[in-house]
Structure 1
Amino acid sequence: MKLIRTAVATAVALGMAAPALAEEATVTPYGKINVTYQMTDDSSLDGSEVKSNNSRFGLKGKAKLSDSLKAIYSLEWQVDTTDKGDSSDDHIKARNQIVGLAGNFGEVIVGRHDSPLKKAQGKVDLFNDIEGDIKTLFNGEVRASNFAQYTSPKFGGVKIKLATMTPSKGAAETDENDFGSASSISVEYSNDDWFFAIAQDNDVSGIDTTTTRFTTQYKIGSFSLGAIYNEHDNGTIDEEGMLFSVAYKAGDHTLKLQTGESDELAVDKKVSSIGWDVKLGKATKVFAFYTKSDDADNNDQSWLGLGLEQKF
């Protein structure tokens, strides 16, 4: 924990020592709208719906402070594009919202952000944001508040992230819920064909919890092969899960297959998905998917959907 705090403090000190240059900050709007028409089959719902899948919008930018230092910032929100127009508090939600400094020393950010362990999934999850998302299988998919992170420069393809934060869950009004009582660390390696990451959370998902994740993805020709191993120890029970994904790209078409099993969120839970993406333009795609989920308690569910995603 002391190492994380020292790294963050050093990066901030470097930024404060740099002379400022009078240059206007840049701001860029961005986002995506992802909507599906899908049919659901489970014990509580058997019908169809139009669903917004983590559609979002945001602003990001930077400001040059010197030849070797810049300020960075972003504000992002999730929006429910299929909201019925009522007063639901879920219509707009905060996502990653940070400010920080970047330079030769690396990068330091503070605010609200995905933990290093969550980001260590890379691009292995081929059904991110829809029903087959790995958050339905694994612990560790945490967007933390009261968050500070140092990211090292990349050396030989290796990058290290050190973060400290307040636990996302746990008893209120305890010393353990103070900022800095939870930590997350990851080591990532990447080149043109291979991505590998190892990460660990300590007390991020609750007091006395440890989550460990190994991720790898390899590209060979038109194929991308990926795997994630996830282990969660809550101090009493040590649970684990595995996920495998395969994507085949042919021109503007991508065929996807993904399957995983875990005991972390339900006993013997299995989630399998198959999908087909078609790019209509640089920022536009249509897609279809089928996802099936079941566990030892006979909670069987399936979804069949057709979607459209537009980025901007």
Structure 2
Amino acid sequence: MKKLLLASAVAALSLNTVQAAPTLYGKLNISLDQVSNDGFSEDKVTEVNSNASRLGVKGEEKITDTLSAVYLAEWEVSGDGDDETLKQRNRYAGLKFANVGTLKAGRFDTYFKTAAGSDQDIFNDTRLDITNILVGEDRLSNVVGFESDPSLLGGLGFNILFQQGEGSTDDAGEARDGFGDSISTSVTYESDIGLALALAGNFDVRSKWAALEGDSYYTDAIRLTGSYDFSNAGAEGLVIGGLFQQAEPSEEIAGFDDLEEQAFGLTLAYSIPSTPWTVKGEYVTAETSANDEDVSFDRYGVGVDYKLNKQTKLYGVLAQTKADEDFGFDEDKETVFGLGIDLKF
């Protein structure tokens, strides 16, 4: 009897250990890129790029039938060896309430950023990532967020994030030391007919402005995204995505009157049925206005993926980004041709 009880205890302990085991995951995305007029200069360079390669650990610990503890910690790694430092990406700990949502705290992407998914940022984690053109692609520290479970309301999801300033100052020099000094929120909807929509807002979030040489300012912004999978309409594998956003600084910035960015993007991806091939196309434009002047970035890009298996794909991209002459660059066009491998594990 004692042996039976001991065997049962060992089996139960082993089962609990398996259930509680964290998941180690990662991605290596390495590309060889030929860039003409790099940074809108006269330079022509050939680069091996790591493209946000990463390593992470995540897990879920069941507490009760309706409550679990969740955690994630992720680092960017230098797949090309240029940087030996592990850079912080998303990391958080929280509680997941079954069929309700997840409350978490730490450092992670804003809900404004995640409103643009793979159907809008189809060249994500390459030199053609939309973060190089658009305001609002931010990951924030010192945040508390809640994400509702879309199943709670038939595909409708609500997400909100509060960032604490912790003694920092805003662009006007005022202290930011309260709860929710910056807020990012979104409402999302996914249907079973292939339609997905998101409306997101950033309020007093420090964001990088590509048109202002990458300088960051506290910003208010609205983003609307959508996509439609035509599989239910008889066009299997065809997905069209779109994005519109508008951004302006939360406070007046010295030297810039009526600063504003308006951006629009349209994407198309076609996974050819019964083949490993996917072809892609993208057009993105961002116009920034200030001091009664308008300047813009316009990007046209095409790409092709070849899936070797569920974890590995080969890809090629060709894109050109045009900048207004008013930016004062040496050249008004930058062209990128790249070949890469994306390996997930």
Common fold by TM > 0.5: yes
- Following superposition, the deviation at residue 200 of structure 1 comes to 0.2
Letter in 2 for 1:209: T
Residues 221-256 of structure 1: CA distance to partner in whole angstroms, max 9, x if unpaired?
Answer: 221000000110114323201000001111210000
Corresponding position: 1:140 with 2:136: yes
Asked whether the equivalents of residues 170 and 218 of structure 2 are also in contact (C-alpha less than 8 Å), the reply is: no
More helix by share: 2
| Whole-Å separation in 2 of the counterparts to 1:159 and 1:286 | 33
Corresponding position: 1:238 with 2:260: yes
Match of 1:50? Answer: 48
| Whole-Å separation in 1 of the counterparts to 2:259 and 2:95 | 40
- Following superposition, the deviation at residue 170 of structure 1 comes to 4.2
Match of 1:14? Answer: none
Corresponding position: 1:117 with 2:112: yes
What's the secondary structure of 1:281's corresponding residue?
coil
| Whole-Å separation in 2 of the counterparts to 1:112 and 1:264 | 29
Bigger Rg, which one: 2
Asked whether the equivalents of residues 262 and 269 of structure 1 are also in contact (C-alpha less than 8 Å), the reply is: yes
- Following superposition, the deviation at residue 134 of structure 1 comes to 1.1
- Following superposition, the deviation at residue 299 of structure 1 comes to 3.5
Corresponding position: 1:219 with 2:234: no
Asked whether the equivalents of residues 145 and 162 of structure 2 are also in contact (C-alpha less than 8 Å), the reply is: yes
| Whole-Å separation in 2 of the counterparts to 1:26 and 1:159 | 29
For these two proteins, the number of residue pairs brought into alignment is 287
2:270 to 220, 244, 248: 248
Asked whether the equivalents of residues 169 and 176 of structure 2 are also in contact (C-alpha less than 8 Å), the reply is: no
Asked whether the equivalents of residues 92 and 105 of structure 2 are also in contact (C-alpha less than 8 Å), the reply is: yes
| Whole-Å separation in 1 of the counterparts to 2:342 and 2:42 | 28
What's the secondary structure of 2:131's corresponding residue?
helix
- Following superposition, the deviation at residue 125 of structure 1 comes to 1.1
| Whole-Å separation in 1 of the counterparts to 2:283 and 2:42 | 24
Corresponding position: 1:285 with 2:279: no
| Whole-Å separation in 2 of the counterparts to 1:264 and 1:26 | 48
What's the secondary structure of 2:176's corresponding residue?
helix
Match of 1:11? Answer: none
Letter in 2 for 1:246: L
Q: Normalising by structure 1, report the TM-score.
A: 0.86
Aligned-pair identity (%): 30
Cα 1:264/1:161, change in 2 over 3 Å: farther
- Show structure 1 runs of 5+ residues with no match: 1-21
Corresponding position: 1:156 with 2:154: yes
What's the secondary structure of 2:308's corresponding residue?
strand
Letter in 1 for 2:106: G
Letter in 1 for 2:295: V
2:81 to 68, 80, 83: 83
Cα 1:44/1:27, change in 2 over 3 Å: farther
Match of 1:61? Answer: 59
Cα 1:282/1:169, change in 2 over 3 Å: farther
Match of 2:206? Answer: 205
Match of 1:184? Answer: 184
| Whole-Å separation in 2 of the counterparts to 1:44 and 1:28 | 46
Asked whether the equivalents of residues 204 and 219 of structure 2 are also in contact (C-alpha less than 8 Å), the reply is: yes
What's the secondary structure of 2:112's corresponding residue?
helix
- Following superposition, the deviation at residue 282 of structure 1 comes to 1.2
Asked whether the equivalents of residues 195 and 227 of structure 2 are also in contact (C-alpha less than 8 Å), the reply is: yes
| Whole-Å separation in 2 of the counterparts to 1:177 and 1:45 | 44
| Whole-Å separation in 2 of the counterparts to 1:65 and 1:175 | 39
Cα 1:102/1:211, change in 2 over 3 Å: same
What's the secondary structure of 2:295's corresponding residue?
coil
| Whole-Å separation in 1 of the counterparts to 2:32 and 2:264 | 29
| Whole-Å separation in 2 of the counterparts to 1:58 and 1:170 | 32
Deviates more, 1:240-249 or 1:103-112: 103-112
Residues 185-221 of structure 1: CA distance to partner in whole angstroms, max 9, x if unpaired?
Answer: 1000012411100000001126662110000000112
Cα 1:44/1:275, change in 2 over 3 Å: same
Match of 2:210? Answer: none
- Show structure 2 runs of 5+ residues with no match: 1-14, 208-216, 252-257, 326-330
Match of 1:175? Answer: 175
**1:97-112 counterparts in 2 under 5 A?**
97-104=91-98, 105-112=100-107
What's the secondary structure of 2:108's corresponding residue?
strand
| Whole-Å separation in 2 of the counterparts to 1:189 and 1:169 | 36
Letter in 2 for 1:102: K
- Following superposition, the deviation at residue 260 of structure 1 comes to 0.8
Q: Normalising by structure 2, report the TM-score.
A: 0.78
